[in-house]
């Protein structure tokens, strides 16, 4: 039940008309909302298994992704994050 609200994909970004130049070495800032019981546990397991992913991903724990409020996603973009990932 993973929904990607807006994932910055390189290929996609290339195809779309760019409003600004992407600075050299730019790394996206991604906020993930993860269910305590599954996706958050999966992120923990990734750590236990020493699997690597970009440091720009920060996870906010939810009791269930069903609790996600639209306002969280909007607030995140408003504050300037580059992508929101919802997993649960």
Q: Does 23 bind another protein (CB under 8 A)?
A: no
Residues 67-86 that bind another protein (CB under 8 A): 67-69, 71-72, 75-76, 78-81
User: If you write DSSP's letter for every residue of 3-53 in order, what string do you get?
Assistant: EEEE---HHHHHHSPPSSPPPTT----EEEEEETTTHHHHHHHHHHTT---
When the beta carbons of 15 and 52 are compared against another protein, the nearer one is 52
By CB under 8 A, tell whether 44 contacts another protein: yes
* Residue 13 interacting with another protein (CB under 8 A): no
């Amino acid at each position: 039940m993973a929904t990607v609200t807006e994932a910055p994909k390189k290929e996609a970004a290339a195809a779309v008309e760019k409003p600004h130049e992407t600075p050299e070495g730019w790394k996206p800032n991604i906020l993930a909302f993860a269910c305590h019981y599954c996706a958050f546990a999966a992120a923990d397991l990734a750590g236990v298994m020493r699997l690597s992913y970009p440091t720009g991903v920060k996870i906010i724990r939810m009791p269930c992704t069903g609790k996600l409020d639209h306002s969280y996603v909007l607030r995140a973009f408003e504050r300037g994050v580059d992508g929101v990932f919802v997993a649960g």
